[in-house]
Amino acid sequence: MTAWQAFSYQGSTYDLSHLDSFDHVFVQAATAEKPERRYKVRIHFGHHCFTESPKLGDDPALRYPEPRHDQRTFDFVRWELSQQLPVIITALMERQVFHTGHLNFFTIELTTYSGNTVEYEVYFEVDRDASKGLKLVVTSAFPRDPVRVQNRPARRPMKLALILHNVQVGKPIKLPPRSGRRH
């Protein structure tokens, strides 16, 4: 999962090198009570960042050749929005992050696509890496469907620094309390 193969369709090539894995150091600033902390993280992006579930009638040439036999269709909107992912992810320390209630987290970016403002949902997991560091895997990213509101966060946001620290020391991440309001 280090380098993504470009996708070609009807004579056009869609570069995916912006989603190649890379290392990043997240820095938690020092406070009066705590010293600065640095977290070296290997960042990976999954193919759900630029593909979607196949639909009846999809052109078979749009199938992205994923080696794990997960049949997905290349999605031009997801691909275009995915070009923002490295910047979004490296700025996670300054962003609101929400726990899904499962083993992953997400953030929402307001961005533009085709002249319209869209909410871009970015889902990720954090785990220990075999090299004794941390890895952050962006498992999926897509524009939020305005009709589906059930996945809007009902909990308070949490800090990426808390997630990184707890994963690094092997401590469970507790769900923050409900905010009492729905968006």
> So what's the pLDDT on residue 85?
96
**Residue at 25 is within a domain:** yes
Cβ 96 vs Cβ 107: under 8 Å: yes
**Residue at 48 is within a domain:** yes
Which of residues 63 and 66 earns the better pLDDT score? 63
Containing H/E element for 78? helix 76-82
The answer for residues whose C-beta is within 8 angstroms of residue 24's C-beta and 6 or more apart is 40, 41, 43, 89, 90
Which of residues 183 and 65 earns the better pLDDT score? 65
Task: Report in angstroms the alpha-carbon separations of 105 from 10, 61, 139, 145, 172.
Answer: 36, 32, 10, 18, 14
Range of the domain at 62: 15-169
> So what's the pLDDT on residue 149?
55
**Residue at 9 is within a domain:** no
**Residue at 61 is within a domain:** yes
Q: For residue 175, what pLDDT band results from cuts at 50, 70 and 90?
A: confident
> So what's the pLDDT on residue 42?
96
Task: Report in angstroms the alpha-carbon separations of 102 from 55, 98, 99, 129, 174.
Answer: 27, 11, 7, 20, 11
Q: For residue 150, what pLDDT band results from cuts at 50, 70 and 90?
A: low
**Residue at 175 is within a domain:** no
**Residue at 19 is within a domain:** yes
**Residue at 5 is within a domain:** no
**Residue at 1 is within a domain:** no
Number of structural domains the chain divides into:
1
Tokens found for residue 40? 């070296």
